[in-house]
Structure 1
Amino acid sequence: MNKRIVIVGGGYVGLYTALRLQRTLRRELRDGSVSITIIDPQSYMTYQPFLPEAAAGNLSPRHLVAPLRRVLPKVEILNGTVTKVHHSERTVTFQPAVGQARELAYDVIVMAAGSISRTLPIPGLTDIGIGFKTVGEAIALRNRVLHLLDVAESTEDPEVRRRALTFVVVGAGFAGVEALAELEDMAKDSTRYYRNIKPSDLRWVLVEATDRVLPEVGPEMGKWTLEQLRERGIDVKLETRLESCEGGHVVLSDGSAFDADTLVWTAGVKPSTIVNSGDLPLDERGRIKTTTALTVAGVKGAFAAGDIAGVPDVTNPGQYCAPNAQHAVRQAKVLADNIVRHLRGEQLVDYRHKYVGSVAGLGLHQGVANVYGVKLRGFPAWFMHRTYHLSRVPTLNRKVRVVVDWTLALFFKRETISLGEVEHPRDGFRAAVATMRR
């Protein structure tokens, strides 16, 4: 009898779980006694730690994604979303990208849908705000920054110019600091090609509600990072909240107000909305309630890991595993092995991994790291950041392509071209049609 494993989500946990199952259950997949299905809106997995480098033009966006169908040839890939989980009936409601929804039966389900941006009801946030979790957002942001340099160069209106050259990032965690540092580095480097824009004309504002930046690397390294950002001329506002940004008019809780055309929102994440669309138990933080063996608490045949799951940290009793790539990749290995044990009626094992530390890039040749208590800054930390994440990128194909991009960057200057028209590819054609009608 065929046993169907359905994995909801094709990110870190989904890809690495399926990859390990594909190898471990090779015989079962071949004879048809087991099948694996991944459901995800995209047909690729994004390696998010490299989004800042893609936004800055150091990496091709195609090289930080892994095509699911190529990496997982023995796995069925369905593009769409799961709108309902009926675990009591062992079915999910699958809504494909095009067409009618349908019910899919399963024997084992893996909840690995990850997280989405956690937003707040701030007036005007949708006017100029953009997230930083997807390749699309990273490239759109790159195009926007470069386009606004073109706008500032071409206008004679000082207000338009000032607004175009003001960039705001909300949230001083990994995503916010790395995105800001890489984009600021790229924008400053790009000013050499403009006659009327100097690096000092650019205004970068980092808004953080707490009293420190990069809490993941510890107080000492966080303080050093803050000093480095301010030395670069970045206006870092701690213990400050975004009050509103209607029409691009930014108002902060410290009383300051100014106009900006760009606001990047990186102020935290929350579990995917799928957690509220099923009968699986949730914890007090709205995550799927998960055991140390990565099973969903209180039910059989259901597993969860990654940002969507509240996984108890056995190395730190009373705490939960942090929602980061380091845990997600390691959880996927244990999760896949436990699924195999579950199918074979064997004893499951607990997920145990002590957090080793963090590394962060702060632009070209700059970084900060705190790994096993060893604190690094500047070039050594930047090199460790790249080396570590290169080792985590899935498939040899992508590793080689990333190294080639970095190698070429040593000999050639980065591209500073805005291709914003790719976001509206039909505008030119529509204009031509409108002209013909007249």
Structure 2
Amino acid sequence: MSTRPRVLVIGTGFAGFHCLRKLERKLPPDAAELVAVNPSDYMLYIPLLPEVAGGVLDPRRVAVPLRNTLKRTKIVLGAATDIALDQKCVQVTDVEGRSRTMSYDRLLITSGSVTRLLSIPGVAQYAKGFRTVAEAIHLRDHALRQLELADQADDPEERRARCTFVVVGAGYTGTEVLAQTQLLTQDAWRHLPGLRDVPPRWILVDVAPRVLPGLDPRLSGPTQKVLERRGAEVRLETSLESMTPTCARLSDGTEIQTRTVVWCVGVRPDPLVSTLNMPVTNGRLNTGTQLKVCENVWAAGDAAAVPDLVRPGEITAMTAQHAERQGRTAAINIAASLGHGTVHEYRHKDLGFVVDLGGWQAVANPLGVPLTSLPAKAVTRGYHLMDLPYGRFRTAANWLTELGAGRQITHFGVVPDMGVSLAEADMPPNAAGFADTRTTGQADEV
């Protein structure tokens, strides 16, 4: 039994991972026992997930292995299902449904967020989500399979429906997913001469008045032009009203015959937060500027409503830029509580955004300077290479291979439809089989 105080971190998304990394560097080995609870043994680098769906990157490039990068941290594979603050313990359920109780001396809650489902008929049953590696691989395989099935079909209506793809949500994730997978299907279509008269049709739907509504308006116009130049249809101020396995009905009355609707509407804090009976804002735990929730408990990332000192009266956005830096600040303050260093307040001013549109196209505004095309592409890939905690050389090699040899048009069918059902997203971890939905933040910033 260790006599060292135990620092327990729930979730290894951007906030949890960078907190543990900072603690390993800041604390001497005998200062604390570091323990991380997470359903998987990797940190998911979400910003590059659309490139997995688009066939540009190997899935391993977006998975940062915890055991390779966190040398002093004990990894417990499981999900926190309950927290008893008065008893200073956490209930953990593993992948086989077995429960155990873990005590802590210091606790950091960085359980991230889950897919936000709306009460739209058919979405949970038939839409494709996009939060995990499994969902990205499944979307890639599904899109390629639809083109091949269209090539084999005799009915012209079925051929058009299978070649039609709808993405709901024109934010950072939805825009990149459409941009990358549109190029993938265009490459695949060129190898299917039987579909010469039925090119892939991509439709982007959002209730907002512009693409990328949460980002700098100067990025919206160039982004929409790139997508439309490639043939995508952008339906703004329009929402998905209902869907069936073969049809998506929009709020303007349009009925789109399709076999593919990708749900990229947004996220909400992990349901674990609501079980604590602590004050929340928009479902996120209220913290002070030092990220403290209560005695010996901190929170960061999507699970935390952290006051934004740069924008008084507001809380920090649910982005990886904040999550990563809040994780480091939490580490400093946890270390200070153990007698190593002094307490810091969290303060960070956004440095800008990067959006990769596939091919040679991107948009970015580093330090507020709007960029498009090749300059933006260079900034985007340079940022991701700097921010990736592991495997930078392999990722760069993947990109170079794609430039020289193009995308490999193959699908393996290793992820079945039931394995990525949106209907399972809100189930307890032991019931949902640990679909890794507790990943922190959308890393859409420089």
Written as runs of structure 1 = structure 2, the 5 A alignment for 1:37-186 is 37-186=35-184
Provide the aligned length of Structure 1 versus Structure 2.
Answer: 416
Q: CA deviation at 1:422?
A: 5.2
Q: For residues 310-343 of structure 1, give each alpha carbon's deviation from its aligned partner in whole angstroms, at most 9, with x where no partner exists.
A: 1111111111111111111111111111110111
> Could you tell me which of 377, 395, 400 is aligned with 1:407?
400
CA distance in 2, matches of 1:196, 1:180: 24
Q: Is 1:378 the equivalent of 2:373?
A: yes
User: What does 1:25-424 align with in structure 2 at a 5 Å threshold?
Assistant: 25-28=27-30, 33-198=31-196, 201-279=199-277, 281-296=278-293, 299-344=294-339, 347-395=342-390, 398-421=391-414, 423=416
Amino acid at match of 2:380: H
- Gap change, CA 1:121 and 1:300, over 3 Å in 2: same
Q: CA separation of 1:111/1:198 partners in 2, compared to 1, >3 Å: closer, same or farther?
A: farther
The answer to whether the 8 Å contact 1:243/1:253 transfers is yes
Tell me, what secondary structure is at the counterpart of 2:24? helix
Deviation at 1:199, TM superposition (A): 8.5
Residue aligned with 1:380, SS: helix
User: For the Cα contact (< 8 Å) 2:137–2:415, is it kept in 1?
Assistant: no
Q: 2: CA distance between counterparts of 1:421 and 1:337?
A: 42
For 2:9, the equivalent position in structure 1 comes to 7
Amino acid in the other structure paired with 1:320: I
Comparing 172-181 and 219-228, the one that deviates more: 219-228
Partner Cα separation in structure 2 for residue 295 and residue 16 of structure 1:
17
Deviations 1:151-195 (A, max 9, x none): 111111112211111101010110000000000011112211111
CA contact (8 A) 2:161 2:259 kept: yes
State the 1:51 CA deviation: 0.4
- Whole-Å Cα distance in 2 between the matches of residues 92 and 267 of structure 1? 31
- Asked if the contact 1:341/1:348 (under 8 Å) is kept, the reply is yes
Identity rate of aligned residues, in percent? Answer: 38
SS in 1 for 2:223: helix
What is the Cα deviation at residue 220 of structure 1?
2.4
Deviation readout 1:292-312 (Å, 9 max, x if unpaired): 11111xx11011111111111
Question: Distance in 2 between the 1:238 and 1:99 partners?
Answer: 43
* CA shift in 2, pair 1:27/1:360, >3 Å: same
| Greater C-alpha Rg | 1
Could you tell me the TM-score, scaled by structure 2's length?
Answer: 0.90
C-alpha distance in 2, partners of 1:239/1:113? 32
- The structure whose RCO (Cα within 8 Å, separation 6+) is larger is 2
Cα distance in structure 2, aligned partners of 1:153 and 1:378: 34
SS at match of 2:308: coil
Q: 1:412 to 1:228 in 2, by over 3 A?
A: closer
Point out where structure 2 has 5 or more consecutive residues left out of the alignment.
418-446
In the aligned structure 2, how far is the partner of 1:422 from the partner of 1:347?
Answer: 47
2-structure distance, mates of 1:199, 1:47: 38
- Look up the match of 1:20: 22
Q: Secondary structure at the match of 1:38?
A: strand
1:217–1:369 Cα contact (<8 Å) kept: no
**Matching residue's letter, 2:288:** T
Cα distance in 2 for residues equivalent to 1:199 and 1:263: 22
CA contact (8 A) 1:116 1:269 kept: yes
Cα distance, 1:270 vs structure 2: 0.3
* Alignment check: 8 A CA contact 2:117 2:124 kept: no
Question: 2:134, 2:415 within 8 Å by CA — same for their partners in 1?
Answer: no
DSSP 3-state at the match of 1:215: coil
Q: Which amino acid aligns with 1:210?
A: A
User: Aligned-pair distance for 1:61?
Assistant: 0.4
> Where does residue 431 of structure 1 map in the other structure?
none
> Given residue 300 of structure 2, which amino acid in structure 1 is its aligned partner?
A
State the distance in 2 between where 1:362 and 1:192 align.
Answer: 20
Q: Decide whether aligned partners of structure 1 residues 8 and 199 sit closer, same or farther in structure 2, where only a CA change above 3 A counts.
A: farther
Q: Is the 8 A contact 1:216 1:358 kept in 2?
A: no
* Distance in 2, Cα, partners of 1:140 & 1:320: 35
Segments of structure 1 that go 5 or more residues without pairing to the other structure are 425-438
Contact 2:166/2:261 (CA < 8 Å) preserved in 1?
yes
Alignment root-mean-square deviation, CA? 1.7
More helix by share: 1
Amino acid at match of 1:344: G
Query: Is contact 1:365-1:383 (8 Å) kept?
Result: no
Q: 1:229 to 1:200 in 2, by over 3 A?
A: farther
